[in-house]
Amino acid sequence: MIELQNLTKTFHSNGKEVRAVDAVSLTVNEGEICVFLGPSGCGKSTTLKMINRLIQPTSGKVLINGEDTTSLDAVTLRRQIGYVIQQIGLFPNMTIEENITVVPRLLGWDKQKCQERARELMSMIKLEPKQYLHRYPRELSGGQQQRIGVIRALAADAPLLLMDEPFGAVDPINREMIQNEFFEMQRALKKTVIMVSHDIDEALKLGDKIAIFRAGKLVQIDHPDTLLAHPADDFVSNFVGQDSTLKRLLLVKAEDAADNAPSVSPQTPVAEALELMDEHDRRYVVVTDGANKAMGYVRRRDLHRQQGTCSDFLQGFNATAAFDENLRILLSRMYEFNRAWLPVLDAENVFLGEVTQESIAAYLSSGRSRGMKTNIVSPAEQVAS
Amino acid sequence: MANGYGKGLLGATAIVVVLALLVHWIGIDALRQYQGDLWFYLQAHLELVLASMLASVLVGIPAGIWLSRPQRAHSAERFMQVFNIGNTIPPLAVLAIALGILGIGAGPAIFALFLASLLPIVRNTYEGLKNVEGSLKEAATGIGMTPRQVLWQVELPNAMPIIIGGVRVALALNVGTAPLSFLIGANSLGSLIFPGIALNNQPQLVLGAACTALLALLLDGLMTFASRTWLERGLAPAR
C-alpha cells in the first residue's frame, strides 16, 4: 500500500512561486493499478517522480506500507521501487540480460540467481531467452524493447512499480498487446502500480483507480466506472469525453447489468409458463434445472394452445453471456446474432439473469457504477426487493 | 558480406600500390642505407607519441568528466575556453616555450605533445558525456544507481564512441607534430626529415615523411579496431 500525504512541489521561476503539485493526497492499495491522468503540465509526472524522489518534494510525505520514506536514503528507496519510463531507457551498452539484471546486481545478487531471474522474466513475456538474452537493445524492435523495459522494473521483485507513460512510444497494435500482457502479469504478481498516462482509454482499460489532475491539483480519484458515471466537475467530464456512457460499456460486466428474469423448470406445465409470461409481459422464458443451471428457453408462440410441460418445447441458446464479459462484447454479440436478450451464466452454467437492451440502458442511466455503492437502486433491484 | 569483402580487397590493393610507388620513389638502395636509422627513429618516435598520449588521456578524460558534472554546468564552457586558447598556440611555439622552461631532450618534447593533444580529448569527453541521452540517465538514477554508478555503467560506456573520436584526432595530431621535436633535440622521425630538407636529400626526406604518415594511419586503425571490439559493443557506430 502506498499513501501520499499533502505532497507539494513548488518551483521558483522569474521570482514567482509556481505550485507544480499542490497538496496531493491519495492512497493506492496493494495489488491495485492507479492511473494518474491529466493534460500535459498538470503535475502528474512530477507527483510520480516525487515518490521515488527523482524530484525532491517541497513538503508532504510518501508512505509505503505505512512507513514514511522521507528518512530513507534516495538510492535505497529507488532500489525498492520498479521504474519504467516512456523512452524505455534500456542501456545500449549492455546486453538484454545485463539490462534486466541491473537492479539485482546493484543489490548484490549472485550470478546464478541473476541468470535464473532473467530467464524466468523472459519467459513471462514470451521471448525466447536463448535467442534474446545476449543481444543488444539496438537489435530488438520497439515493442520488444518496451517489454524488456517492463520486466527490468520487475527484476528485483519490488512490490511497487512506477510507470511514466510506459506504452506511449509503442505503435497502437503492439501497445494493445503489451497492455494486455502487462495487465495479466500485474494480476498474477499482485504488484502495486502507479502509472502516468494521458490516454483515457488506457486508463479505463488498466486502472483500478483513476486520479485526474488539473493544474497541480488532484481533482478526482475513483474507480473508472464511477469516474465516467459521476464526474466531479466539468473539467473531468470534458476530459473523459462526451461518449463517456459508451466508454462505460467496456467497464460494466454482464452480471451488473443483468435483470432479475424469472425462470421455469422443465417440468413446469405449459399453462403455468404462459401465465408467468403474461404476468411479466414477456415472449419467452429461460428453463433451468434443479441446480438452477440454464438448459434453454421456451417461446410463447410455441406454447400457445399446447399441452404438456416446457421440456417438450425447449430451445437451445445460440448465444450466451458469461458473467464477467463486458457490455461492449455483449452488445456486439447481440447484434451479431440478432438477439434482443442474452442469458447471463456463471462459470458452472448457473443462470444469473438476462441482459437486454433495456437492462443495459437501465443500468447505465441508473447512477450506479462499479466500485461504488450509491443509494440509487436500479429498476432490476427494485423488482427483486 | 560479399560487398564488404570486396571493399576490403580493393583497399588492400590500393595500399600495396601506394607502398610500391613509395618504395620505387625512395629506392631500394636508400632504404637499405637508412634501415638502421629508420628503426631507431621509429622507435623513438613511438616512445614520444605513446608517452605523451598516455599522459593526455590520463589527464584529459578525467578533466572532461569533471567538467561535465551537473554542478559545473554553468562554468564548464569558460573552462573549455582555457583549453581552446591553449590549442590556438602553434605546436612549434609550444615546443619553443617548453625548450625555454624544461630545456632540451625528450622530456620537453613529450610535454609539448601532451599539451597539443589534450584539447580534443577533453572537448570530446565533455561533449560525449553531455550528449548521453537524458532518458538513460533518468532511467539509471530512477532504478537506484548512485551518481558514480551512473557515470561508470551508463554515461562513460555510452559516450565512448565520441571520446574515442577525440582520442583519434589527438593521436593523428600527435604523430604529425612529433617530428618537430627534432628542433629541441629529441629523437623522432623528424631526425630523418629535417636533415633531408637541409641536405636536399629527397629519399631521406620522403622516407621520414612517409613513415610518419603510415604510422599515423596504422595507430588510428589499431585504435578504431580495439575500440569497436572492446569498448563500443552494442552501440551504433559514430558517424
**Nearest residue of chain B to residue A82 (CA atoms):** B143
Do residue B143 and residue A153 have CB atoms under 8 angstroms apart? yes
Q: Per-residue pLDDT tens for A225-270?
A: 888 888 888 888 888 888 888 888 888 888 888 888 888 888 888 8
CB contact under 8 A, B142 and A76: no
Q: How far is B139 from chain A (nearest CA, A)?
A: 6
Domain ranges of chain A: 2-248, 254-378
CA distance B236 to chain A (A): 8
Nine-digit cell string for B178: 612529433
Domain residue limits at B101: 35-231
Domains A2-248 and A254-378 belong to one CATH topology: no
pLDDT tens string B155-164:
999 999 999 9
Instruction: Say what the pLDDT of residue A372 is.
Output: 55
Chain B residues with at least one Cβ partner in A under 8 Å: 133, 135-136, 138-146, 149, 153-154, 157-158, 160, 233-236
A169 and chain B in contact, CB less than 8 A: no
Give domain status of residue B108, yes or no.
yes
In a domain, B47, yes or no: yes
**Position A189 pLDDT exceeds 70:** yes
Does the pLDDT value for residue A376 go beyond 70? no
| A106 closest CB neighbour out of B136, B138, B144 | B144
Q: Cβ B234–A138 below 8 Å, yes or no?
A: yes
Examine residue B200 and state whether it is found in any structural domain, yes or no.
yes
Residue A373 has pLDDT above 60, yes or no: no
Which range is least confidently modeled, A99-103, B3-7, B27-31, B169-173?
Answer: B3-7
Which of A 304-363 lie inside 8 A of B, CB atoms? none
**Is B9 within a domain?**
no
Amino acid at B221: G
Average pLDDT over residues A356-368: 84
Report CB contact under 8 Å: B158, A93: yes
Contacts with B159 from chain A: Cβ below 8 Å: none
Closest residue, chain B, to A139 (C-alpha) = B234
pLDDT in tens, A262-279: 888 888 888 888 888 888
Average pLDDT over residues A335-347: 89
Alpha carbon of A46: minimum distance to chain B alpha carbons (Å): 13
What is this model's ipTM? 0.78
| Distance from the A127 Cα atom to the nearest Cα atom in chain B, whole angstroms | 19
For chain B, the first-to-last Cα distance in angstroms comes to 20
The answer to whether residue B17 sits within a structural domain is no
pLDDT in tens, B95-130: 888 888 888 878 888 888 898 888 889 999 999 999
Residues of A with Cβ-Cβ distance to B146 under 8 angstroms: 75
Cβ atoms of A212 and A236 within 8 Å: the answer is yes
Cβ of B234 within 8 Å of Cβ of A78? The answer is no
Residue B138 is nearest to which of A89, A92, A95, comparing CB atoms? A89
Kindly list the residues from chain A whose CB atom is less than 8 angstroms away from the CB atom of residue B149. Answer: 106
Interface contacts (A, B; CB < 8 Å)? 78
pLDDT at A71: 86
CATH of the domain at B226: 1.10.3720.10
Chain B contact present for A106, CB below 8 A: yes
Q: How many domains does chain B have?
A: 1
In chain A, which residues have their Cβ closer than 8 Å to the Cβ of B144?
A: 75-80, 103, 106
Say what the pLDDT of residue B3 is: 62
Whether pLDDT at B238 is above 50: no
The pLDDT, as a whole number, for residue A291 is 86
- How much is the average pLDDT of A9-36? 89
Contact yes or no for A95 and B143 at CB 8 A:
no
Q: Which of A92, A93, A103 sits opposite B143 (nearest CB)?
A: A103
Of residues A254 and A195, more confidently modeled: A195
Q: Which CATH number fits the domain A254-378, given the four candidates 3.40.1280.10, 3.10.580.10, 3.40.50.720, 3.30.565.10?
A: 3.10.580.10
* Closest Cα in chain A, distance from residue B217 (Å): 28
Among A22, A7, A19, A9, CA closest to A68: A7
Give, for B127, the enclosing helix (H) or strand (E).
Answer: helix B106-130
Chain B contact set for A86 (CB, 8 A): 135
pLDDT of residue A381 exceeding 50: no
Q: How far is B59 from chain A (nearest CA, A)?
A: 25
**Closest residue to B234, CB basis, from A85, A94, A152:** A94
Interface contact B139-A89, CB threshold 8 A: yes
Tell me if A220 sits within 8 A of A232, measured CB to CB: yes
> Nearest CA of chain A to the CA of B154: how many Å?
7
Sheet order of strands, A59-64 included: A16-28, A2-13, A59-64, A67-68
Residues contacting residue A191 through CB under 8 Å, at least 6 positions apart: A31, A82, A154, A158, A159, A160, A161
The yes-or-no verdict on residue A383 having pLDDT over 80 is: no
Instruction: Report, at the CATH architecture level, how domain A2-248 is classified.
Output: 3-Layer(aba) Sandwich (3.40)
Calculate how close chain B gets to A238, using CA atoms only, in Å. 32
B141 closest CB neighbour out of A54, A82, A162: A54
Do residue A85 and residue B154 have CB atoms under 8 angstroms apart? no
For residue B12, tell me if it sits in a domain. Answer: no
What residues contact residue A348 under an 8 Å CB cut-off, 6+ apart?
A293
Give the C-alpha separation, A163 to A166, whole Å. Answer: 6
- Residue B67 domain flag: yes
Contact across the interface for B153 and A85, Cβ inside 8 Å: no
Percent of chain B exceeding pLDDT 90 equals 27
Helices (H), chain A: 44-51, 74-79, 96-100, 102-106, 111-124, 129-132, 142-154, 172-189, 200-206, 224-229, 234-240, 244-248, 254-257, 270-280, 300-303, 327-337, 357-365, 379-384
3-state SS class at A118: helix
Q: How far lies A383's CA from each of A287, A351, A354, in Å?
A: 20, 18, 14
pLDDT for A375 equals 39
Confidence of residue B2 (pLDDT cuts 50, 70, 90): low
The predicted model gives B9-31 an average pLDDT of: 83
Most B CBs within 10 A among A55, A56, A93, hence the mutation to make, goes to: A93
Instruction: Kindly determine whether residue B143 and residue A75, on different chains, have CB atoms separated by under 8 Å.
Output: no
The residue of B143, B145, B146 whose CB has the most chain A CBs within 10 angstroms, and thus the best one to mutate to test that interface, is B143
Examine the pLDDT at A196 and tell me if it is beyond 90: yes
Contact B142 A78 (CB under 8 A): yes
Min mean pLDDT across A370-374, B28-32, B42-46, B223-227 is at A370-374
Q: Tell me if A149 sits within 8 A of A91, measured CB to CB.
A: no
> What pLDDT band is residue A114 in, cutting at 50, 70 and 90?
very high
Q: Do B138 and A54 touch (CB under 8 A)?
A: yes
Residues on chain B touching A89 (C-beta within 8 angstroms): 135-136, 138-140, 142
Residue A334, CA distances (Å) to A327, A340, A357, B24, B204 in order: 10, 6, 9, 91, 96
